Amino acid sequence: MSHNIQADVECLNSLNTSYPQLAAVSADEQALAYQFLEWKVIKFDPSSASGHVWSALKEYNEMLSSRTYLASNRIANIDILLGRALFPFIEKLNSQEKEQVGNLLRWYTLIASNSSSNLPTIPFQRLPMY
C-alpha cells in the first residue's frame, strides 16, 4: 500500500470514528469507499498535469450522472474526504468548465451543505457570462 493510500485510509478511519453515522454500513459500501480512495490517489496525484486532472474531473462527472453519492444512497465519510481533496481543483474551474461538470458540482454542493463536512461552497453562475 502506497503512502498516499495509507494516509487516506487513516483519514477515512478518523472520519469514521468522528462521524460514525456517516461510516460505510455494508461491506459493499466499504469496498466502494476504498476503490474511491485508490481512484483519488491515481487520478489526483499532486504531480499530475492539469490536462490529466481535467480529464479525471470529467470522468468523475460522468460517473456521478447516475448516482447522488459515491458509495451509497446517503452522504458518507468517503464523500467528505473526496470533497476535501477535489475542492482545490473544482475551485479553479472557470465558468465554461463548470458548465461541463454539472453532476460533479451538484454532488459537491450536496456534501458541502452537510454540517459534518465543513467544506467551503463553490460559487458559480447559472447563466453563461460569455
Q: What is the pLDDT of residue 44?
A: 81
- Residues 6+ positions from 70 with CB-CB distance below 8 Å: 32, 33, 36, 76, 78, 79, 82, 107
Q: What is the pLDDT of residue 123?
A: 76
Q: What is the pLDDT of residue 5?
A: 83
Q: What is the pLDDT of residue 113?
A: 92
Q: What is the pLDDT of residue 46?
A: 63
pLDDT tens per residue across all 130 residues of the chain: 455 788 889 999 999 999 999 999 999 999 999 999 998 888 886 665 566 889 999 999 999 999 999 999 999 999 999 999 999 999 999 989 999 999 999 999 999 998 888 888 887 666 555 5
Cell readout for 123 is 460559487
Q: What is the pLDDT of residue 108?
A: 96
Residue by residue, DSSP assigns 89-123 as HHHT--HHHHHHTHHHHHHHHHHHTSTTT-PPP--
Domain 3-112 has CATH 1.20.1050.10: yes
Q: What is the pLDDT of residue 79?
A: 95
**Quick check: 38 and 5 in contact, CB under 8 A?**
yes
Asked whether the CA dihedral 122, 123, 128, 130 is positive or negative, the reply is: negative
